[in-house]
Structure 1
Amino acid sequence: MKEPIVCDYLIIGAGIVGLSLAYELTNRFPEKHIVLIEKEDRVACHASGRNSGVLHAGFYYSSDSLKARLCVEGNRLMKEFCREHEIAVKRCGKIVVAANEAELEGLHELERRGKRNGVEVSLIGTDELARIEPNAKTHKQALYSPTTASVDPALVCEKLSEVLKKKGVRIHFAVRYLRRKGGLILTNRSDYQAKRLINAAGLYADKIARDFGFSKHRVILPFKGIYLQYNGNDLPCQTHIYPVPNLLNPFLGVHYTLTVHNRVNLGPTSIPAFWRENYSGFEGFKWGEFLQILYYEAKLFLFNSFNFRKLAIHEIRKYNRKHFVGLAKDLTHSCKANAFNEWLAPGIRAQLLNTETLKLEMDFLLEGDEHSLHILNAVSPAFTCSFAFARYIISEKLA
């Protein structure tokens, strides 16, 4: 029997959260032995490499949340990392538009949240809107966020992994967590013995947490996000254009995203998925996951928690391209619907559900003890927050 690999910190998951944690740990404690394991053959194969790349400003989140606390600083630190490593950042800003009088109050609430959270944000009239984003259409006022930007998320993660390797962090690919056995972490390749385990496994974070006695009343409920890419000869917008969201759920509605590569995407969907890696066809299908998720989705549909019935029906209709594009027409004066004609690779949002209240968790969630720490519900804006999130975790939870 092989001797276990011994380390000070063992991190599970090479997405942006696991990578940024390793980065902050090795910067603070260069003498520590840090190992990161990833079940895929490269970094950022799931949510971190499949998201829109939007760097959020931080005005959506209530001031008592970790998201609000970390987003502004995370935005700054991500831009700083990109500047240091010559990674392009598109500083395009964001416009949030109102469709009618009723949505104006939502717009004002976003401004209030932004001011409380220390975000540079302002309400603007239609004349100023026409100067900043001529194609955006709003009712009386819009919200302008100049610090919202875009990056290439996969490129950021790849650069992080390069930096980590140079700093002596060991990243082991194709290593899948199996179970805990006493003080050992068993995988398909080797056994590991760590002074502290950090679970940043995304879609599987809740399952690993339960092996350590955590996430007892919470389960990952996956939602599929798909974008449509614009393939016209022009650009329909110069900034991100978003609608006023329903602040009672964590989804931001169909919007225009301007990428760092100067492409415009429309989306995303938030379609309930039926297993955790339900990207395409029956790829990644697992009976156990299917039955568990189907059980909770049926329960949510039956009790209509957080208006799940309407959400599910509304989202499934987005598979119809014409309907999907139609949802964005009210955001702009001109929308060349036929030019939004290419579905991009889907991503899966690892959204945490509280199984006692049947409500979606709105904030980041951490559980753990002196032996292990479990990062649950690391959903948007986790990419934006990642460097600030890592600093918070190390200072507040690992110190």
Structure 2
Amino acid sequence: MSHDLAIIGGGIVGLATAREVTRRFPGLSIVILEREDDVALHQTGRNSGVIHSGIYYQPGSLKARLCKEGVEATIRFCKDHDLPYEQCGKMLVATQASELDRMAALHERGLASGLPVERLSSAELRAREPHIQGVGALFVSTTGIVDYGLLARTMAKELKERGVEILFGATVDRISEEPPGLTIGAGMQLIKARNMIACAGIMADRIARLGGLDLDFRIVPFRGEYYRLGADRNDIVSHLIYPIPDPDLPFLGIHLTKMIGGYVTVGPNAVLAFARDGYRFGDVSLRDLAETLTYRGFRRLVGKNLSSGLSEMWNSLNKHAYLALCQRYCPELTVRDLQPHRPGIRAQAVLADGTLAHDFLIRETARSIHVCNAPSPAATSAIPIARELIDRAAKHFRWRDAVRA
């Protein structure tokens, strides 16, 4: 059977994209190809569950706009489908005086983006969060928490009811594009489609190359390791506790996160994963590791961030070092409080010059659109990202004419 559209990837971006197509072009036949046996088993189902406010992003940028729209869209979806969520708010805590200038700049950035950002003194922080210490903080009330895995599975159920076919265990290994359409191979399966949108996450660069694109980046997997606090610490914070970001570091840093399940996690760090699905230290794929280590963009990234990279690795191997990062905010935590919790993998696009791609990367062929990099806050922004993608697809694939026909 031939479809109007094939979507590669059953994460939240791929599912939201299919949902937007069914909403705006209900006459199109859609198939989703997912390599696992269920949706949302990787980045979507293993992230921190935060509904981000967008305070970190340049005011007026696409990322800032999509994030702000995403807060509203995610909460509306939860209300419409009776899914649990909570807008508990986020505290961005300065733990030393040297961070106060960066905190002030972040405050101005948040206000410029139209966010409800409140600046707190050390005493005001302590009054709201008795277990947290800092020299000052910003409070953003719109930040929330949700279970993105549950949200994605709800989307998948909705899509099936709308007639969308989801093929599980479909690992795409070849793509042939001709003027009439595409033939997508997944083992013994052959799927024909007029058009394709790839939302392949950690495999985005490989799928793009299979589709004939010449790329200027590569996906490098970074493992984010979390701990979960014991049940006696479930009420240790009332809000999310985040650091003031350091622009000299590639990643945000460890934070305390209330989860929708009622517990609190600590993390994540960011260490190189030795496999694209390398959730444990001992998970090694020779192909994945060789691709990473031989890529000049990765070697340049390491050269620029050697000190922070070694520090992250040490914190990964030494639980007491990891604890010390937590104690900057919450000095009463002990090593016994840090209990195992599932890690996640961040699909990070690294450019050839060694810089991280912090914005969305989208590439096209005549018959396909590839979401090559969808960094955080992609889960928060999934529904408005889908709108942007389908705006592009409608023009690129001339769907309006196709639907009328």
Query: Which position in structure 1 is the counterpart of 2:351?
Result: 354
- Would the aligned equivalents of 1:259 and 1:265 in 2 still touch at CA under 8 Å? yes
- Would the aligned equivalents of 2:360 and 2:372 in 1 still touch at CA under 8 Å? yes
| Structure 2: runs of 5+ lacking an equivalent | 396-405
How many Å separate the matches in 2 of 1:301 and 1:6? 43
How many Å separate the matches in 1 of 2:260 and 2:301? 42
Q: 1:164 aligns with which of 159, 163, 171?
A: 159
TM-align CA RMSD: 1.9
- Would the aligned equivalents of 1:236 and 1:335 in 2 still touch at CA under 8 Å? no
Query: Which position in structure 2 is the counterpart of 1:8?
Result: 4
Query: Which position in structure 1 is the counterpart of 2:40?
Result: 44
| Deviation, structure 1 residue 176 | 1.0
Structure 1 pair 164–250 and aligned structure 2 pair: CA distance change class (3 A):
farther
Amino acid in structure 1 at the alignment position of 2:213: F
Q: Is 2:292 aligned against 1:296?
A: no
| Structure 1: runs of 5+ lacking an equivalent | none
Q: Secondary structure at the match of 1:265?
A: strand
Q: Secondary structure at the match of 1:345?
A: coil
Query: Which position in structure 2 is the counterpart of 1:387?
Result: 383
Question: Matches of residues 1-399 of structure 1 in structure 2 within 5 Å?
Answer: 5-63=1-59, 65-139=61-135, 141-182=136-177, 183-214=182-213, 216-234=215-233, 235-280=235-280, 282-283=282-283, 285-296=284-295, 300=298, 304-305=302-303, 307-319=304-316, 320-332=318-330, 334-355=331-352, 357-399=353-395
CA deviations on 1:137-191 (whole Å, 9 max, x unpaired) are 221x311011111111211111111111111111110111011124311111421
- Would the aligned equivalents of 1:239 and 1:258 in 2 still touch at CA under 8 Å? yes
Amino acid in structure 1 at the alignment position of 2:2: V
How many Å separate the matches in 2 of 1:57 and 1:282? 35
Moved more, 273-282 or 380-389: 273-282
Q: Secondary structure at the match of 2:328?
A: helix
Amino acid in structure 2 at the alignment position of 1:142: A
Aligned length: 389
Amino acid in structure 2 at the alignment position of 1:325: L
TM-score, structure 1 normalization: 0.92
Amino acid in structure 2 at the alignment position of 1:321: K
Structure 1 pair 119–243 and aligned structure 2 pair: CA distance change class (3 A):
same
| Deviation, structure 1 residue 105 | 1.4
How many Å separate the matches in 1 of 2:262 and 2:128? 17
- Would the aligned equivalents of 1:249 and 1:360 in 2 still touch at CA under 8 Å? no
- Would the aligned equivalents of 2:273 and 2:281 in 1 still touch at CA under 8 Å? no
CA deviations on 1:195-251 (whole Å, 9 max, x unpaired) are 211111101111111223335111001100111000051322111111111235552
How many Å separate the matches in 2 of 1:47 and 1:380? 10
Q: Identity of counterpart residues, as a percentage?
A: 34
Q: Secondary structure at the match of 1:205?
A: helix
- Would the aligned equivalents of 1:226 and 1:343 in 2 still touch at CA under 8 Å? no
How many Å separate the matches in 2 of 1:325 and 1:122? 29
- Would the aligned equivalents of 1:90 and 1:259 in 2 still touch at CA under 8 Å? no
Query: Which position in structure 1 is the counterpart of 2:403?
Result: none
Q: Secondary structure at the match of 1:219?
A: strand
Amino acid in structure 2 at the alignment position of 1:337: T
| Deviation, structure 1 residue 136 | 2.5
Structure 1 pair 250–156 and aligned structure 2 pair: CA distance change class (3 A):
farther
Q: Secondary structure at the match of 1:383?
A: coil
How many Å separate the matches in 2 of 1:28 and 1:279? 37
Amino acid in structure 2 at the alignment position of 1:101: A
- Would the aligned equivalents of 1:366 and 1:375 in 2 still touch at CA under 8 Å? yes
Structure 1 pair 232–325 and aligned structure 2 pair: CA distance change class (3 A):
farther
How many Å separate the matches in 2 of 1:109 and 1:365? 27
Q: Secondary structure at the match of 1:168?
A: coil
- Would the aligned equivalents of 1:73 and 1:388 in 2 still touch at CA under 8 Å? yes
TM-score, structure 2 normalization: 0.91
CA deviations on 1:25-73 (whole Å, 9 max, x unpaired) are 1111111111101000000111110011011000011235432120010
Amino acid in structure 1 at the alignment position of 2:119: L
How many Å separate the matches in 1 of 2:301 and 2:293? 14
Amino acid in structure 1 at the alignment position of 2:24: R
Structure 1 pair 208–146 and aligned structure 2 pair: CA distance change class (3 A):
same
How many Å separate the matches in 1 of 2:194 and 2:112? 39
How many Å separate the matches in 1 of 2:299 and 2:173? 32
How many Å separate the matches in 1 of 2:128 and 2:394? 44
How many Å separate the matches in 2 of 1:293 and 1:47? 19
